[in-house]
Structure 1
Amino acid sequence: MEIAKKNDYKSYLVNDKNIKLENAKKDIDFWQKKYDNNSNQYTYLIKLAGLYSQLFEITGNIENLYTAEKLLLECNARVKDKKASIHRAIARNYISQHRFKEALIYLDKALVLGENKLDTQKMLFDVYMELGSFDLAKNQLTIIQDFNDFDYLIRLAKWNDHIGQLDDAIKVMEKAMVLADNSKNQELKEWIYSNLADFYGHADRVEDSYAYYLKTLELDKNNMYALKGIAWIAFSNDRNPEKSLEIIDYIEKKHLTPDLYLFKSDVYDFQNNDLKSKNAIKKYLDLLSKNNYGDMYNKYNVLLYNEFSDKKNQALEIAQIEINNRPTPESYDLLAWSYYNLGDFEKAYEIARDFTINKSHEPSILFHNELILKANNKLTKENSNKEELLESLYELGPNLESQIKNI
């Protein structure tokens, strides 16, 4: 059944001014002038750092994130490491850069200083989850427990999703949405609507997902995350690649990130357009080479490089870097998948057995586990997740349908 109808979203594909972007640029000019006139005021630097972070969120331009980092580090030096709020801001910046171990260092410093301790404890949960320190994350969740607190509820939802309780996660997110609606805070509402849309998608509630992406766009017509969600619905659920590409082309002009080209490549693959698919991958690699994204695209690179015979060893190297950065089941899956693609099925199985099988409910990991088990003649009716994978086809995308059916 077709869900994404152009009449619903065509008004969001119009090249109007982005008010948020314009305001952020004006505010940067304002605070920069204030700082230039009074460079003793370190608080102006904090304002500027926040605005550059906002620019990164709006445009996807990585240089804005690095500018924010530089300003925050300068600020931290000015106050001689004595402000917990600045440590948290640096940690937040490093989380965006996927520098989770460094983020943890700054959060530990903030915790010792104690100022607004609860804010630090909430962020510690986030970083522990990213580092695969799930026992510490669970303990942190107990510390911050408050069922009337939006921040707690969205973290509880993340935990429930992690342990495979997706329905519970959605219920908790819906409770958080009630708090956001009552708060009249537009940014909070935007965040919860778009993230709830994601959760509904994971649960194969595609119509609900679509409705909440539209609700997000009603609040902010320049929310490219929600538009990308609708592009995925058009592609994966509706099997309408033309409609999906139209939306992606629009996003590309407003919020260009490398993964957008991988999305395009998938759509072209579905159309059996090999030339355009290869061109999209070339654009992805070109964008990576022109910008320093650090480790932010390691996952994408491992998955992509494993598709090319001359890049498989490079994929393995990057997977090992990810293990060092964040030893989660997701990272170990990249390592197991790399060994599988190099033909070392036994090594792939050992890693999957110890670190991914029964450790994650992510459909992509279940898919890799299935193929690794099969290659080692260890796939049985009891340990197979084929039915679950078929139910997750929307999330995995239509290009994997025949592969899953043939397992």
Structure 2
Amino acid sequence: MKCVFFNLLVITALFSCKQANKPIVSKVLVDSLITHYTTPQAVKDNAADMQFWKNRINPNSPDYSNALKYAATLISRFHLSGDIHDIKTADSVLLKTAADFNGKEAGPYLSLVGHYILQHRFKEADSIFHLATAIGIKKYETAATSFDINFELGRIALAKQDLSTIKSNNDYGYQFRKSKMMHFSGDLDSSISAMRTAAQNAGRDVTLKMAALSNVADLYIHAGQLDKAYDCYMQCIQTNPADMHSIMGIGWIALMNDKNDSLAESIFKFVTTKTQSPDPLFKLVSVAEQRGDSALALQYAHAFEAKASDTIYGNMYNKYLLQLYTGQLQQPAKAEAIGKKELDNRATPQTYAWYAWALLCNNKKDEAYSIYQKYVSGKPLEGLELYWMGKLMRSLDKGYNASQFFKQANKNYYDLDPTIQKDLTKNLE
């Protein structure tokens, strides 16, 4: 009965959000979602699968297939619960399996590549990928995984070559990766189209389909089409009520479009009770900003810092931490240190832009401009980096350049937090 009631609410909410001059996010829907939340079937199924594969592993002899499947269930649980320890356990299982087979099986290494990318351990992913290819993997797996690594490390020309190798309009992996490349190139419409095609190509694989659809929603946020983003997020939530990424997406729309900070706050606080990830704490900083409560924003910023700076996360939250250290937390020296660390992890125009911004905030304007000229100028950037480079240009009295950066940043207005939005609007006047 609860499922029927929830589905009726969803249909009503989807219809009402289309009406002119109406908020997109329904408070009735959100209240129902939170009040009637029960452990989703996906969580129960994952727990059962995990126990099944774990029990099949023979501790007294090398085990390949069962160990890999057990590791995969741990990664699935990480996506459901946000517990970083699940990734670390999965890594340990795969490394042991690789050792048990004397490094002669490519499978454990190939799986580890994905795990390391997930943890922003990009150079390690590259190294272990070479181990897998030396043992021998299929042509498609080689090109697809090579794309993932090259793209993250900023080796875009090589990533484009990899993409052309796996080109197939009916292939999920190709369309998913094509969408990432189109987004990087600034062609947002083509990026959305490719990701939608990826969702269609997923067929009956619900996990792949929902991954693509939630990415479509994120892209619609980038494009400022929040009603379409809402529709996609709701489809994901209908399929998997434990999809906290999509639930937070709904909260962001409530904050950005509806200006309903109380509703957004209730959503993000709900998510903090269902995931161990630091992400909802970062969103709550923006809720406090929208409300104009600087003390509360600082409180949430400290809470996020305490969790996200734990060494177990490695480089996963560098960008968010750098943003807070140059914002609410006002610790530019820490921001500069993170910027340097990120460059060691992946030296791309984006990470150089982060470093340049940190240098500027740490009163190193000349160094910041030098980094900009060498590594950032003329390169594609996201909304936040565009805003930061606009601020750098403004500090150098380069008014025209600053205005161009601000105009470009404004195209990704809804990616930015409320404080930056206000400052951006002021700089565009």
Question: CA offsets, 1:107-136, max 9 Å, x none?
Answer: 222223333231232011011111111111
The answer to whether the Cα contact below 8 Å between 2:198 and 2:209 also exists between their aligned partners in 1 is no
Q: 2:153 aligns with which of 97, 118, 131?
A: 131
TM-score by length of 2: 0.89
Match of 1:374 in 2: 394
Q: 2:67 aligns with which of 45, 63, 86?
A: 45
Match of 2:217 in 1: 197
Looking at structure 1, the residues matched to 59 and 414 of structure 2 have their Cα atoms a distance apart, in angstroms, of 55
Looking at structure 2, the residues matched to 11 and 360 of structure 1 have their Cα atoms a distance apart, in angstroms, of 42
Structure 1 segment 94-105 matched on structure 2, within 5 A: 94-105=116-127
Looking at structure 2, the residues matched to 297 and 192 of structure 1 have their Cα atoms a distance apart, in angstroms, of 22
Amino acid paired to 1:332 = Y
Match of 1:242 in 2: 262
Match of 1:283 in 2: 303
Cα displacement (A) at 1:204: 1.1
The answer to whether the Cα contact below 8 Å between 1:357 and 1:369 also exists between their aligned partners in 2 is no
Looking at structure 1, the residues matched to 426 and 309 of structure 2 have their Cα atoms a distance apart, in angstroms, of 37
Match of 2:280 in 1: 260
The answer to whether the Cα contact below 8 Å between 1:88 and 1:120 also exists between their aligned partners in 2 is no
Match of 1:220 in 2: 240
Looking at structure 2, the residues matched to 67 and 105 of structure 1 have their Cα atoms a distance apart, in angstroms, of 20
The answer to whether the Cα contact below 8 Å between 1:346 and 1:376 also exists between their aligned partners in 2 is no
Cα displacement (A) at 1:6: 2.5
Match of 1:350 in 2: 370
Q: Larger deviation: 345-354 or 189-198? A: 345-354
For 2:114, what is the secondary structure of its paired residue?
helix
Looking at structure 2, the residues matched to 401 and 337 of structure 1 have their Cα atoms a distance apart, in angstroms, of 17
Match of 1:34 in 2: 56
Structure 1 segment 171-210 matched on structure 2, within 5 A: 171-180=193-202, 183-210=203-230
The answer to whether the Cα contact below 8 Å between 1:356 and 1:365 also exists between their aligned partners in 2 is no
Q: 1:364 aligns with which of 381, 384, 391?
A: 384
From the superposition, tell whether residues 11 and 192 of structure 1 become closer, same or farther in structure 2 (CA, over 3 Å): farther
**Residue 143 of structure 1 pairs with residue 143 of structure 2:** no
**Residue 386 of structure 1 pairs with residue 406 of structure 2:** yes
Looking at structure 2, the residues matched to 225 and 232 of structure 1 have their Cα atoms a distance apart, in angstroms, of 10
The answer to whether the Cα contact below 8 Å between 1:262 and 1:280 also exists between their aligned partners in 2 is yes
From the superposition, tell whether residues 119 and 10 of structure 1 become closer, same or farther in structure 2 (CA, over 3 Å): farther
Question: CA offsets, 1:14-59, max 9 Å, x none?
Answer: 3301322222223332333322576443322212211111111111
Structure 1 segment 323-338 matched on structure 2, within 5 A: 323-338=343-358
Amino acid paired to 2:86 = N
Match of 2:105 in 1: 83
Q: Larger deviation: 213-222 or 273-282? A: 273-282
Amino acid paired to 2:314 = G
Match of 1:405 in 2: 425
The answer to whether the Cα contact below 8 Å between 1:122 and 1:144 also exists between their aligned partners in 2 is yes
Q: Larger deviation: 17-26 or 365-374? A: 17-26
Looking at structure 2, the residues matched to 243 and 308 of structure 1 have their Cα atoms a distance apart, in angstroms, of 23
Amino acid paired to 1:341 = C
**Residue 72 of structure 1 pairs with residue 94 of structure 2:** yes
Question: CA offsets, 1:292-319, max 9 Å, x none?
Answer: 2112112112111123676221211111
From the superposition, tell whether residues 18 and 177 of structure 1 become closer, same or farther in structure 2 (CA, over 3 Å): closer
From the superposition, tell whether residues 118 and 343 of structure 1 become closer, same or farther in structure 2 (CA, over 3 Å): same
Looking at structure 2, the residues matched to 264 and 112 of structure 1 have their Cα atoms a distance apart, in angstroms, of 46
The answer to whether the Cα contact below 8 Å between 1:363 and 1:396 also exists between their aligned partners in 2 is yes
Looking at structure 2, the residues matched to 138 and 406 of structure 1 have their Cα atoms a distance apart, in angstroms, of 38
From the superposition, tell whether residues 17 and 374 of structure 1 become closer, same or farther in structure 2 (CA, over 3 Å): same
Looking at structure 1, the residues matched to 328 and 174 of structure 2 have their Cα atoms a distance apart, in angstroms, of 43
Looking at structure 1, the residues matched to 212 and 105 of structure 2 have their Cα atoms a distance apart, in angstroms, of 30
For 1:385, what is the secondary structure of its paired residue?
helix
Looking at structure 1, the residues matched to 49 and 421 of structure 2 have their Cα atoms a distance apart, in angstroms, of 48
Amino acid paired to 2:240 = D
Q: 1:7 aligns with which of 3, 28, 38?
A: 28
Looking at structure 2, the residues matched to 210 and 287 of structure 1 have their Cα atoms a distance apart, in angstroms, of 29
Structure 1 segment 300-339 matched on structure 2, within 5 A: 300-307=320-327, 311-339=331-359
For 1:147, what is the secondary structure of its paired residue?
coil
Question: CA offsets, 1:146-183, max 9 Å, x none?
Answer: 12211101111111110111111122222223323xx1
Question: CA offsets, 1:184-216, max 9 Å, x none?
Answer: 221122112111111111111111111000111
Amino acid paired to 1:257 = S
From the superposition, tell whether residues 326 and 147 of structure 1 become closer, same or farther in structure 2 (CA, over 3 Å): same
Amino acid paired to 1:5 = S
The answer to whether the Cα contact below 8 Å between 1:130 and 1:326 also exists between their aligned partners in 2 is yes
The answer to whether the Cα contact below 8 Å between 1:111 and 1:117 also exists between their aligned partners in 2 is no
For 1:406, what is the secondary structure of its paired residue?
helix
Cα displacement (A) at 1:383: 6.3
Which ranges in structure 2 are unaligned for 5 or more consecutive residues? Answer: 1-20
- The percent of aligned pairs where both chains have the same amino acid is 27
